[in-house]
Structure 1
């Protein structure tokens, strides 16, 4: 029987309170219905980059954006890995039954590792061999997961707890516990980290944490990979998850606060034109850019939105027609400024 061991420290309680407050702000923001698709797309792309980068994927964020936005066919293992991750995230509701089962985890792993493993028969299948977690360069072993024959029972015990003993538990705590325990069990020959992180995201999604699609925890992990590894290792000796959950909750707060700041900024911009001018997400983004810069050029818009010069000019033309921006200068020196239209 699985029973997680941890303490609700002041840190954890304070993090949860701040997370709940930020979640409320985001959920009630007027901008969300309009900006929903863009926020999700951006978060999915960033998650696909950072989660695979943690595992050593060489693609940078711009390369990942191009790969996904241009619907390119993968030509390398690195591209396949990123696209697999994005596709699972983008279809997360496909895996989100009311009850998470062994088949849920196996399906996520199968789709994550499609065309990646040396032995394809291990895609979506529990390992049947011993594995080690450590530094491939120093050969130092940090963790020896349970024997392969124990894996099915350990996963079933974890799922029994998840589906029957978590009704009164905050979703972030549930996700953090599941994340750690899947890493500890290491059910697969490869892809355990990616599967654990995606399953944590799935838990947030299925437990009415409906803004989890807007932020990426993987970016937080990736910015200090050693801190991520150390936090996971902190529970290995006596199986006390307290330090790990403090780290996990801090990561959720960090990530959700970034979304809150962006949403409040966007809400502030759109409120200036409320009920008078209809704006698209891209137009809002350009006006947001002009909040930070007094003058912008066509190339600034292209780079920010990752669009062609023609698409950028189309946005500029619409904003000029709505009397929100005007051009100054000529030719290559043409710049655009906000004319501070007051409805």
Structure 2
């Protein structure tokens, strides 16, 4: 049953509660921007948020790893026998978060290829080099995992390309719609189109976060909306299940999505308020926020900062252990960082080279430059 018209045209109303939620979001956004968060605390809070996002987004899809185990898989390369698929899922999601951060800082328009690449990373078991995933080529019926009852029949595969093209065009449309509302609608529509056989929910949540970050609602990378969804999965799925029928062609496409948008805005406001309370508590000691300097660093460099908390100098072996790399790979990475001005070689004449931070990045840790030879 091919679609008769193109163009994403969401139907919704802004309720008083929704307007109040938008005001709460703006208030928390400003309050968090004004907090004197130290660079070290900022890095720690960001990493915690990334791990939360990874844990809760995969948990929604049935992943059985605990929050602590997710941290061990990502940070320590821990292996849990019998949980290989779960481990691959969290590695994939975490890798996709890395890509999301780069896309968020890219001024160019969002493309279908970028979204397909996010999906490929989600499904890629932690691989950093993947090929964009093509859309599904057949029908995909969603059933209740307990009862087996049909929950949703998405559009036919032949309609997916045009629906995704319309959605991406709408994402890039310059309009007056508040960014949180746009993010909510993108989440809903991606889940509605269901362009893949698997990984749709995770990709929808990543795309939502990407829209927020690009629109100025990154909140320094400190929040994880996925936690709000996971705390009450029934409410999450009910909010997404709108329309008179479970069939896309029998009302889902034209459904009034006000209930979903209201749910999303409340969750975003609650998440922002939680982050504000946590950041305010943990930044009580004060300190100058140098997030602009942090933004010059890539994901691996920010993580490598933790190596310098207890030592002025590190070796390639330290980097290898931190990331689970081979020694040769870690050595090449350190040499690249020297060329980029992130590291300085402390003792080039010695067989085992040591590196210290460039002076400007020493300031991120509240220190002046120096080397502990």
> If the length of structure 1 is used for normalisation, what is the TM-score?
0.73
Q: Does 1:259 align with 2:268?
A: no
Report how far residue 202 of structure 1 moved. Answer: 0.8
Using the TM superposition, give the Cα deviation of residue 72 of structure 1 relative to its aligned residue in structure 2, in angstroms: 4.2
Flag structure 1 segments of 5+ consecutive residues without an equivalent: 276-310, 312-343
Residues in 2 aligned to 1:131 and 1:94: alpha-carbon distance in whole angstroms: 31
Rounded to whole Å, the distance in 2 between the matches of 1:6 and 1:32 is: 41
Candidates 27, 39, 46, aligned match of 1:40: 46
Is it true that 1:85 corresponds to 2:93 in the alignment?
yes
**Are 2:28 and 1:22 aligned?**
yes
- Partner SS for 1:142: strand
Residues 134, 140 of structure 1: 8 Å contact kept: yes
- 2:17 — aligned with what? 11
- Report if the CA contact (8 A) 1:74-1:80 is conserved: no
Give the length in aligned residue pairs. Answer: 269
Q: TM-score, normalised by structure 2?
A: 0.68
Alignment partner of 2:172: what SS?
A: helix
Task: Look up the match of 1:146.
Answer: 155
Tell whether the 8 Å contact from 1:114 to 1:123 is kept in structure 2 after alignment. no
Displacement after TM superposition at 1:217 (Å): 0.8
- Contact kept in structure 1, 2:112 and 2:164, CA below 8 Å: yes
Q: SS at the partner of 1:270?
A: coil
For 1:109-258, list aligned pairs within 5 A. Answer: 109-115=119-125, 124-165=133-174, 167-211=175-219, 213-235=221-243, 237=252, 238-258=254-274
Contact 2:88 2:125 in 1 (8 A): yes
Q: CA deviation at 1:123?
A: 6.8
User: Do the aligned residues in 2 keep the contact of 1:11 with 1:246 (CA within 8 Å)?
Assistant: yes
Counterpart CA distance in 2 for 1:244 and 1:36 is 32
The 2-side partners of 1:159 and 1:38 are apart by 33
Let me know the Cα RMSD of the aligned residues. 2.3
Which range moves more in the overlay, 228-237 or 239-248?
228-237
| Alpha-carbon spacing, 1:239–1:223, altered in 2? closer, same or farther (3 Å) | same
SS in 1 for 2:285: helix
CA–CA separation in structure 1 for the residues paired with 2:131 and 2:48? 31
User: Gaps spanning 5+ residues in structure 2: where?
Assistant: 1-6, 244-250, 289-309, 311-373
Task: Measure the CA separation in 1 of the matches of 2:77 and 2:221.
Answer: 21
